[in-house]
Chain A
């Protein structure tokens, strides 16, 4: 009775958009597809919707072959990252459109639409034209339209990405509320995003995807704490995790002329050469630390992102306050060595501070 996909592949040109993707989505859950742009997120959602036909593989829903059912009979709902609405209809008619299509009786349409508009905070906007709304409001209209259908599968393709910072925060909160109360136990929500923070906040099952391939499936916490590969570590951190070529010799980690005593959780790493992963947030300014040169300093919100360089090694660190640096400034930093990750030379997690290992 679930949404089950097996070995979905889609290769319209010489690159895989989907590469043997399999999943099993249960009703009543939220699934987050996490991946960079062009990683196949939209393709996957469109395949579930039926807008794309995969070259091979199968999708079953409630034990029916989904690929044999045309889009318009699948009873799904989808919200795009662009704000897609019907420009010739006003807000009310936009939201009512799927119900009218189903020939629901007028009184009921009226009730359901007004209720849905209320739940997305657009009460009183019924007669507005779509063009008169702001981007955030337009996206709310398409969300309302996707909610009135009571669809069993709700697909959200990066719904927040085109909104400005404040609106995104606000709408993300509302999404969580709507998901927690508005949806029945019968629905599956699939949410795609490039933003790891969004995945963490929605707190559903995360599917990390890259180049059309599923890299890791697990809870948001699991993916964040124990990323299976370097790629996953890169996708699930923003800014991406710093990866440094390092060696282990006589209980010391060595990279770029820096020697650090090996932490406990890396004792089991047997390789001499490995990739050391350090989160930007696990690097701090410290006068007794190692000297790096500032390549670029960007202030984002209330934190400062520092791009640093030492020899051939480049790292990014985030500092929880707004600070001004000049290019070529020397700064001293320290690594929170108890929080580092070790990936072997193939890029597979060898040891994490949370005890995970896939070697």
Chain B
């Protein structure tokens, strides 16, 4: 029984690993191919099956004038927009989540839970519903096709995630910890920064991870709210797709765009395995 269980476990893990890793391997090999090796049937092993070429990668950093596509600028645009929006969302989201978790608000029939739901409800609507108001709003304040406009929109999209995760997290931090800080001579701000926040780092990391992922992978709003001046990475990658699909540079850019998320995943994984996420608050 024990052996069967072990066998099933390992076979499942193996199948799953192949399932997850295979597309990456496929993309990796494809990125080193040229037109002939892609269209000449399935080939996998470099130097044996096909001759690796760097053309797919070179195109990415060449300017359009040199016949390239230059994803460097969209790449840094995406990094800048995602990081800025995530940071602001985490700061604002954490503050509002703390308030929603600790203080009682009342405006008519609207109470704490309703406010929390209001934040989350922003994510319930299909994005297409939000696109028109966003477009009109950014147009009115002259922020269409600009990095700042995108940051504003992304904050609206990311802050609910931060609020949602952090409200839940703060609710699990015993109130008595704040109270003890007050009794020990902290004013409410010091209690938050010296005691509550240091104990919330696992929550902040999870919230930050979600913000970065959702910000980084967004294609829809970046596509609708920008035209020529500013381009984000997902839009640029999709734009690569022309009459003859350049599979090699498409694969290369896909790998480059996934790289930051892999870094994030490793950082979070390290935190998870340390047990810091579960054991911080008893």
Contacts and interface: CB of A to CB of B under 8 A. Distances in A.
Do A and B come together as binding partners? yes
B13 interface: no
Contacts, number: 61
Contact of B199 (A46, A50, A87, A145): A87
Contacts of A162: none
Contacts of A70: 187
Interface string B190-202: 1000010011000
B184 A97 contact: yes
B176 A98 contact: no
Nearest to B173: A87
B176 A72 contact: no
B282 A84 contact: no
Interface string B256-282: 000000000000000000000001111
Contacts of B280: 87-88
A74 to B, nearest CB: 8
B183 A49 contact: yes
A183 interface: no
B24 to A, nearest CB: 38
Nearest to A157: B176
B51 interface: no
A149 B198 CA distance: 23
Contacts of B187: 70, 72
B174 A149 contact: no
B64 interface: no
Contact of A88 (B180, B182, B183, B198): B198
What secondary structure prevails in chain B residues at the interface with A? helix
A87 B182 contact: no
Contacts of B177: 84, 86-87
B199 A71 contact: no
A72 B174 contact: no
Of the four ranges (under 10, 10 to 19, 20 to 34, 35 or more), the interface on chain A belongs to: 20 to 34
Contact of A80 (B176, B184, B185, B195): B176
A123 to B, nearest CB: 22
B183 A78 contact: yes
Given A80-B180, A82-B176, A131-B279, A88 B199 contact: yes
Nearest to A89: B198
Contacts of A71: 179, 182-183
Given A84-B174, A84-B176, A131-B282, A76 B183 contact: yes
Contacts of A46: 179
Contacts of B240: none
A302 interface: no
Given A82-B174, A88-B198, A77 B183 contact: yes
Contacts of A88: 195, 198-199, 280
A72 B282 contact: no
B213 interface: no
A51 B182 contact: yes
19 contacts: A46-B179, A49-B179, A49-B183, A72-B182, A72-B183, A77-B183, A78-B180, A80-B180, A84-B176, A85-B180, A86-B177, A86-B181, A87-B177, A87-B280, A88-B199, A88-B280, A131-B279, A131-B282, A145-B184
